């Protein structure tokens, strides 16, 4: 496995955190695709291994577009760029967690109507080569369900906070006055395209119960 750093060799906080804060083996190995750095630390699974591919796509990403039902614009869909984490680096559980404030429409919308979806693109990872983000072989996944506020004293909150702060260290210093809270997406349906032929059939149960040690280390960075 070749761990990847940014082109100017500044530490990648996700990668370094997974290595106990130490410089990972191969950190000096600089690779890029079409001028963009490769940011993943686990290689790309085969597209036909649908559940593993979906989990890989979620756990390797750190942000996406979270859509809610707008309360201010007549129920129109409102998409917002948000950071998320599904667990510690390369040990994700598949459930996205978010650190949100009601000063932002996403959280306030969800408290009134929990219906939400999170869309994530493989293009963010730098593994699509010269392909356009809409090319079916440049994978995309949408997780649909309910965006729920977590109980502030639960064990799940402790897990989610560790997952979020490990992947997004800046969050620790966000203003207390903004009253950020932890939300999770309770997944009900999954839409994923990672090859030609339309969406891949994938149930929530298959997605959540996939063993991540099945990851097949095959990278595809062809154009």
Size of the chain in residues: 223
- How far apart (Å, rounded) are the C-alpha atoms in residues 63 and 53? 17
- The phi, psi pair for 63, rounded to 5°, reads -150, 160
- How far apart (Å, rounded) are the C-alpha atoms in residues 103 and 113? 16
pTM: 0.79
Q: What is the pLDDT of residue 151?
A: 85
Question: Based on the number of CB atoms within 10 Å of its own CB, is 160 exposed (0-12), middle (13-18) or buried (19 or more)?
Answer: buried
Q: What is the pLDDT of residue 89?
A: 84
* Token pair for 23: 């410089």
Q: What is the pLDDT of residue 40?
A: 56
Q: Tell me, what DSSP letter sits at residue 21? A: T
Domain 45-212 homologous superfamily, CATH? Electron Transport, Fmn-binding Protein; Chain A (2.30.110.10)
Angle at 177 between CA 173 and CA 183, to 5 degrees: 75
Q: How many CB atoms lie within 10 A of CB 67?
A: 20
Q: Where along the chain do its domains lie? A: 45-212
Residues 32 and 20: beta-carbon distance below 8 Å: no
* Token pair for 98: 């978010």
- How far apart (Å, rounded) are the C-alpha atoms in residues 60 and 51? 14
Q: Which residues of the chain have pLDDT under 70?
A: 1-41, 213-223
């Amino acid at each position: 496995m070749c761990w990847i750093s940014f082109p100017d060799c500044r530490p990648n906080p996700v990668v370094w955190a997974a290595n106990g804060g130490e410089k990972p083996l191969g950190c000096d190995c600089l690779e890029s695709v079409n001028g963009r750095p490769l940011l993943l630390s686990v290689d790309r699974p085969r597209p036909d291994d649908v559940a593993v591919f979906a989990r890989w796509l979620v756990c390797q990403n750190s942000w996406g577009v979270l859509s809610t039902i707008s309360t201010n614009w007549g129920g129109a869909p409102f998409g917002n760029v948000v950071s998320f984490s599904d667990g510690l680096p390369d040990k994700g559980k598949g459930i996205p967690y978010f650190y949100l404030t009601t000063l932002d429409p996403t959280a306030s919308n969800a408290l009134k109507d929990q219906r939400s979806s999170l869309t994530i693109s493989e293009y963010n990872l730098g593994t699509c080569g010269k392909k356009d983000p809409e090319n079916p072989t440049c994978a995309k996944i949408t997780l649909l369900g309910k965006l729920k506020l977590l109980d502030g004293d639960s064990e799940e909150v402790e897990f989610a906070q560790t997952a979020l702060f490990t992947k997004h260290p800046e969050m620790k210093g966000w203003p207390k006055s903004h009253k950020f809270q932890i939300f999770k997406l309770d997944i009900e349906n999954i839409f994923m395209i990672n090859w030609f032929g339309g969406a891949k059939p994938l149930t929530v149960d298959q997605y959540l119960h996939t063993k991540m040690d099945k990851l097949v280390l095959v990278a595809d960075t062809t154009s």
